């Protein structure tokens, strides 16, 4: 099982960990070829990996990371020669490509790419295109957002249309956010810049507004807002089980999270827990934060057998049956259209009819000044 510390890829519920807890025994050959991947462990499906190995007579060698920064550092230190595939989310793939850590890809070599939801089709989803050349640099895999899960019996749905909900004294002592500083700062930045009216002004990097690229004045206001919020919070939760208990018990009525606890709450109700009208807001009027996990091919892979193997592996991973299993095990919404093979409850649980909302979310990115962001968070914690 992967590391227990809180990540947005924590599995949906205790019952879903079984597939990852099984021993992973690979077939062995005298001198097998290898496909080496740097990936999130939550997406490892042992039975599917073994089937791929058997079919292609190769050995799949996974290495794991907890966050984009860790993967980025590993790739920069010779990783593009040590790994054939890597995963990333948000705008990180564009950073990798600019630094020549990735190669371009060809969707025609991955037949199951035809099964993407409209929002993630090659011609639509531009996040995985190099802005300068237009080349495709990866394949969408799973998606989600850092939205608001709330009890609609205690919080009027219209109040969650704004991020003001998470700073509303009406819910003092009944709010919670995660302990992840990047999402707390970026989400507060959406509210701050909306209040200040600074989004349309020239940005520090000369590009359109991005909540991860802020002026010193905006960061100062974000710090003030997060300090004000502290008195309204019951706690900053460290893991999903804690938030689940807080929401199910009614101690917390609204919390920012990745919809995994939302799914866990709905599942618990289906299994006999007391009915509560839990809902999840992906996007507020000031905006929202979104992520799309991707499969990428490193620049160490040249045209030929290895590139064909990488394409075949990605093709397997984005096939409908594998994506259905990924959603169940990792508790994520998938970029492939599974609605025809899903029940109404599954469509609701995995937000299958809400994928259009991803288009207007601000993608996760690297803070423009990690040092300043860490200083802001330290000041918030010390206040």
Q: How many helices (H) and strands (E) does the chain have?
A: 13, 12
State CA 153 to chain mean position distance: 28
Is 8 among the domain residues?
A: no
Q: How far apart are CA 129 and CA 138, in angstroms?
A: 8
Query: Structural domain tally of the chain?
Result: 2
Whether residues 206 and 277 fall in one domain = yes
Q: Are residues 229 and 139 in the same domain?
A: no
- Rounded Cα distance, 319 and 334, in Å: 11
Helices 181-196 and 370-382, axial angle in degrees (round to 10): 90
> Residue 260 maps to which CATH number?
3.40.190.10
Residue-level pLDDT, tens digit, the chain, 383 residues:
223 344 545 433 333 333 333 444 444 433 348 999 999 999 999 999 999 999 999 999 999 998 888 999 999 998 889 999 999 998 899 999 999 999 999 999 999 999 999 999 998 999 999 999 999 999 999 999 999 999 999 999 999 999 999 999 999 999 999 998 999 999 999 999 999 999 999 999 999 999 999 999 999 999 999 999 999 999 999 999 999 999 999 999 999 999 989 999 999 999 999 999 999 999 999 999 999 999 999 999 999 999 999 999 999 999 999 999 999 888 889 999 999 999 999 999 999 999 999 988 999 888 999 999 999 999 999 99
How many Å is the Cα radius of gyration of the chain?
21
Domain region containing 167: 147-287+363-382
Residue found under tokens 């300068």? 132
Q: Is the backbone of residue 281 left (phi > 0), alpha (psi -120 to 50) or beta?
A: beta
Cβ count within 10 A of residue 175? 25
Q: Is residue 1 part of a domain?
A: no
Which are the contacts of 224, defined by CB distance < 8 A and separation ≥ 6? none
- Pinpoint the alpha helices (H) of 5-131: 18-21, 46-56, 68-74, 80-82, 92-98
Please state the pTM of the whole predicted model.
Answer: 0.83
- Whether 356 is in a domain gets the answer no
Give CA–CA dist 231/223, Å, rounded.
Answer: 14
| 196 domain-assigned | yes
Determine the pLDDT at residue 112: 98
How much is the pLDDT for 16? 38
- The predicted structure's pLDDT at residue 360: 86
Residue 29 to residues 26, 53, 56, 128: CA-CA distances in angstroms? 10, 10, 12, 36
Query: Locate tokens 């009915």: which residue?
Result: 275
- Please indicate, yes or no, if residue 32 is contained in any of the structural domains: yes
Instruction: Answer yes or no: do 32 and 134 share one domain.
Output: yes
Are both 296 and 369 inside the same structural domain? no
Same domain, 238 and 376: yes
Task: Print burial letters for 86-102: b (CB count within 10 Å at least 16), e (below 16).
Answer: bbbbbbbbbbbbeeebb
Please give the Cα distance from 81 to 103 (Å, whole number).
12
Residue (of 62, 67, 48, 120) closest to 323 by Cα position: 48
Residue 271 lies in a domain: yes
Q: Domain for residue 355, yes or no?
A: no
What are the start-end ranges of the H helices in the chain? 18-21, 46-56, 68-74, 80-82, 92-98, 181-196, 216-230, 240-249, 260-270, 305-317, 320-330, 344-349, 370-382
Does residue 124 share a domain with residue 78? yes
Q: How far apart are CA 76 and CA 73, in angstroms?
A: 5
Same-domain check for residues 163 and 104: no
Q: Which two tokens stand for residue 266?
A: 């709905």
**Residue 375 counted as domain residue:** yes
Residues 315 and 367 in one domain: no
In this predicted structure, what is the pLDDT of residue 67?
84
Same domain (yes/no): 90, 192:
no
Domain shared by 132 and 245, yes or no = no
Residue found by looking up tokens 């907890």 in the block: 66
Q: Are residues 241 and 302 in the same domain?
A: no
- 62 and 184 assigned to the same domain: no
Output the six-digit token pair for 72: 């980025």
Residue 281 near residue 148 (C-beta atoms within 8 A): yes
């Amino acid at each position: 099982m992967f590391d227990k510390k809180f990540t947005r890829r924590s599995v949906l519920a205790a019952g879903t960990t079984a597939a990852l807890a099984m021993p992973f025994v690979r077939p062995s050959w005298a001198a097998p070829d290898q496909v080496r991947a740097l990936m999130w462990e939550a997406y490892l499906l042992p039975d599917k990996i073994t089937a791929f190995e058997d079919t292609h007579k190769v050995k799949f060698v996974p290495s794991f990371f907890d966050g984009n920064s860790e993967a980025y550092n590993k790739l920069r230190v010779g990783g593009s020669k040590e790994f054939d595939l890597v995963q990333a989310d948000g705008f990180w793939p564009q950073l990798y490509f600019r630094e020549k850590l990735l190669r371009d890809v060809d969707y025609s070599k991955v037949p199951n790419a035809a099964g993407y939801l409209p929002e993630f089709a090659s011609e639509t989803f531009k996040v995985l295109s190099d802005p300068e050349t237009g080349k495709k640099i990866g394949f969408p895999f799973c998606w989600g957002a850092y939205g608001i899960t709330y009890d609609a019996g205690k919080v009027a749905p219209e109040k969650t249309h704004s991020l003001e909900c998470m700073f509303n004294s009406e819910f003092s002592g009944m709010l919670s956010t995660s302990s992840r500083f990047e999402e707390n700062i970026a989400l507060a930045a959406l509210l701050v810049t909306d209040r200040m009216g600074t989004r349309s002004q020239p940005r520090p990097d000369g590009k359109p507004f991005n909540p991860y690229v802020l002026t010193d004045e905006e960061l100062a206001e974000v710090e003030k807002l997060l300090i004000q919020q502290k008195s309204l919070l019951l706690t900053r939760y460290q893991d999903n089980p804690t938030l689940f208990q807080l929401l199910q018990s009614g101690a917390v009525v609204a919390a920012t999270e990745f919809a995994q606890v939302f799914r866990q709450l709905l599942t618990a109700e289906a299994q006999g827990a007391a009915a509560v009208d839990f809902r999840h807001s992906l996007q507020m009027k000031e905006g929202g934060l979104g992520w799309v996990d991707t499969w990428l091919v490193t620049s160490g892979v040249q045209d030929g057998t290895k590139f064909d193997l990488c394409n075949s592996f990605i093709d397997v991973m984005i096939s409908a049956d594998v994506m259905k299993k990924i959603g169940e095990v990792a508790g994520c919404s998938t970029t492939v259209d599974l609605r025809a093979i899903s029940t109404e409850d599954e469509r609701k649980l995995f937000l299958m009819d809400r994928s259009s909302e991803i288009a207007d979310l601000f993608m996760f990115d690297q803070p423009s000044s990690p040092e300043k962001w860490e200083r802001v968070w330290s000041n918030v914690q010390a206040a």
